[in-house]
Amino acid sequence: MSDFVDGFWGYYVGSIALLGIAWCLWLIFSQRKWLGASTVKVEDTGHVWDGNLRELNNPVPRWWTIMYVGMCVFGLGYLVLYPGLGAYKGQLGYTTAQEVRQDQTEQDISVKPVFAKFASMDIPAIAADPDAHVIGQRLFLNNCAQCHGSDAKGGPSFPNLIEGDSIYGREPDTLIATITKGRNGIMPGFKETINPQMASDVAQYVRSLSGLASDPIKALRGKREFMNYCAACHGAEGKGNKALGAPNLTDDVWLYGSSEATIVQGILNGRNNRMPAQEQNLTPEQIRLLAAWVWGLSGGRDVTSSVATTTTAK
């Protein structure tokens, strides 16, 4: 509760907590004058069943009153030591984030011997190790399958890792850097300088680069605009640039789809695709095993799919 961005809610929650305890104390003392009031007379409600079964109104037992008050005192002590009064952080400075980090540290220490055998192995050797393969697959399923799919074949806007046609490359160091620091692929939008008709021409030219059906007249016009606006990143031949993260437009791998409408949308509005960094979630040893598992999906090679109509991966 100590991470409220608005001070009002901190005071609001804190006041409710304190008023709740105060009300409980008032309730118990309003029903019993004092802890030592053991001489309070037992009231007869006047309800009788079966001739001699009489309902009485007994005073609250002393032990119950002591327990009730003790719980209220415990609650007040807890709110002083731990965060519970809105923005108040507590005297002990406890946070759930700190507890999670401590648990993660203990977990990392306990599993370190498991990764020790792979410390001196390179990525290809790790990828060929059966034990490492199992660990890498588990890491992928827990951390990557949400986007890339449990079969690693990705989906619209999420790369297919089986094909191996990687925008940044499949070298071991590149994979490790990608997993560790993440990626943020940005294609600028050109709707301020290219009208929809020009974008349609460029889309036809881009489709022709990968052997898809295209209008030759529009593709010819589109080539001129491609050289003006797109070649700086994708290259004059459209083969991309791994250093910039610009995809190869001459293969049959499409991240968003190969239809003219999808390509035009990308040209006009741009694309912004982000892969989150995993350095806060995984240890360097885990990242190496995960990189080895991904590398092993295609043997470390950039492989282009042979199906010209695929639309699951650019």
Res 5: pLDDT:
57
Q: Does a structural domain hold residue 88?
A: no
Whether residue 282 is found in the same domain as residue 249: no
Lowest mean pLDDT among 89-93, 195-199, 288-292: 89-93
Whether residue 114 is found in the same domain as residue 263: no
pLDDT digits (tens, 9 = 90+) for 101-122: 889 888 888 888 888 889 899 9
Res 59: pLDDT:
73
**Which of 11-20, 28-37, 215-224: highest mean pLDDT?**
215-224
Whether residue 158 is found in the same domain as residue 205: no
Q: Does a structural domain hold residue 250?
A: yes
**Which of 32-36, 69-73, 87-91, 304-308: highest mean pLDDT?**
69-73
Q: Does a structural domain hold residue 119?
A: yes
Work out the pLDDT band at 62, boundaries 50, 70, 90: confident
Whether residue 114 is found in the same domain as residue 37: no
Whether residue 178 is found in the same domain as residue 201: no
Res 105: pLDDT:
86
Whether residue 177 is found in the same domain as residue 204: no
Residues in the chain: 314
Whether residue 154 is found in the same domain as residue 210: no
Q: Does a structural domain hold residue 159?
A: yes
Work out the pLDDT band at 6, boundaries 50, 70, 90: low
Whether residue 157 is found in the same domain as residue 283: yes
Whether residue 224 is found in the same domain as residue 266: yes
Average pLDDT over the chain, rounded to an integer: 86
Stretch 164-186: mean pLDDT, rounded? 89
Crossing angle between the packed helical segments 284-297 and 172-181, to the nearest 10 degrees: 130
Stretch 206-216: mean pLDDT, rounded? 95
pLDDT digits (tens, 9 = 90+) for 118-143: 989 999 999 999 999 999 999 999 99
Work out the pLDDT band at 314, boundaries 50, 70, 90: low
Q: What is the 3-state secondary structure (H, E, C) of the chain?
A: CCCCCCHHHHHHHHHHHHHHHHHHHHHHHHHCCCCCCCCCCCEEEEEEECCCEEEEECCCCHHHHHHHHHHHHHHHHHHHHCCCCCCCCCCCCCCHHHHHHHHHHHHHHHHHHHHHCCCCCCHHHHHHCHHHHHHHHHHHHHHCHHHHCCCCCCECCECCCCCCCCCCCCCHHHHHHHHHHCEEEEECCCCCCCCHHHHHHHHHHHHHHCCCCCCHHHHHHHHHHHHHHCHHHHCCCCCCECCCCECCCCCCCCCCCCCHHHHHHHHHHCEEEEECCCCCCCCHHHHHHHHHHHHHHCCCCCCCCCCCCCCCCC
Please say if the pLDDT value at position 286 is more than 90.
Answer: yes
Total domains present in the chain = 3
Whether residue 152 is found in the same domain as residue 196: no
Please say if the pLDDT value at position 304 is more than 70.
Answer: no
CA distances from 297 to 106, 117, 175, 252, 286 (A): 32, 22, 12, 19, 17
Whether residue 147 is found in the same domain as residue 177: yes
Res 39: pLDDT:
59
CATH classification at residue 270: 1.10.760.10
Res 111: pLDDT:
83
Q: Does a structural domain hold residue 309?
A: no
Res 50: pLDDT:
82
Domain that holds residue 285: 102-182+276-297
Work out the pLDDT band at 284, boundaries 50, 70, 90: very high
pLDDT digits (tens, 9 = 90+) for 236-264: 999 999 888 899 999 888 989 999 999 99
Stretch 92-105: mean pLDDT, rounded? 87
Q: Does a structural domain hold residue 304?
A: no
Q: Does a structural domain hold residue 97?
A: no
Q: Higher pLDDT residue, 8 or 20? A: 20
Q: What six digits make up the tokens of 283?
A: 């240890």
Whether residue 152 is found in the same domain as residue 194: no
Q: Does a structural domain hold residue 237?
A: yes
